[in-house]
Chain A
Amino acid sequence: DVKVTQSSRYLVKRTGEKVFLECVQDMDHENMFWYRQDPGLGLRLIYFSYDVKMKEKGDIPEGYSVSREKKERFSLILESASTNQTSMYLCASSFLAYGYTFGSGTRLTVV
């Protein structure tokens, strides 16, 4: 089975900190995605990547950046964390359009 691993399940950071969320997949998938999930708003796409060093903005990229230096790793970066970035962050990977495999999620709290 494809496994998508997010480095932290729970994270607490201070306002203004630079935050790195790491995601690794082990099945050679081209496509990787970062979402945030908030009550009542569903899943919102932040960024995605369909190849190494390629990235595309999703619906809510402001305040975030990403890095994909290796095929298996897709990092989400909060350049200067703010309280409105407190959320559940979900990473996923896919082969073509055949559906995602998700990681377990990282619940980030910014204080």
Chain B
Amino acid sequence: AQSVTQLDSQVPVFEEAPVELRCNYSSSVSVYLFWYVQYPNQGLQLLLKYLSGSTLVKGINGFEAEFNKSQTSFHLRKPSVHISDTAEYFCAVSIYGGSQGNLIFGKGTKLSVKP
């Protein structure tokens, strides 16, 4: 069975500082990997995804993530955060080639950007 661990439940950071949100997964089969963002009282929005190819994936709002197969990690990074990046971030996996598409989510990381 697959599982996803987001190592930090809360990450406080100052504006314009870099940030890394950590995600590790466990799976006996190949997976697709995703990061979603949720702003208060809204649904989740796709930030970026890794399906195949280059292990460095760029997403919206200046975020990027790197797939590391040997470490089973998919950490999310941004070199300089803004106040507007304050939100909750979810890492997720689905089974490579799966037809039913179920995502397994981590518990989420709340990013708080302070002025």
Seen from chain A, the residues whose Cβ lies within 8 Å of a Cβ on chain B are 4, 6, 30-31, 33, 42-43, 45, 48, 50, 56, 90, 92, 94-105, 107
Contact = CB atoms under 8 A, between A and B. Distances in A.
Dominant SS at the B interface? loop
A1 to B, nearest CB: 10
Contacts of B46: 99-101
Interface in B29-52: 32, 34, 36, 41-46, 49, 51
Give the secondary structure class of A's interface. Answer: strand
Interface of B: 32, 34, 36, 41-46, 49, 51, 90, 92, 94-103, 105-108
B100 A48 contact: yes
A97 B94 CA distance: 6
B32 A105 contact: no
Q: Which 3 A-B pairs have the closest CB atoms?
A: A102-B43, A94-B101, A97-B98
Contact of A97 (B90, B96, B106, B107): B96
Contact of B41 (A4, A30, A94, A107): A107
Contacts of A92: 44
Residue of B34, B95, B96, B99 most packed against chain A (CB within 10 A): B99
Contact of B100 (A31, A42, A43, A103): A31
Contacts of B99: 30, 50, 96-97
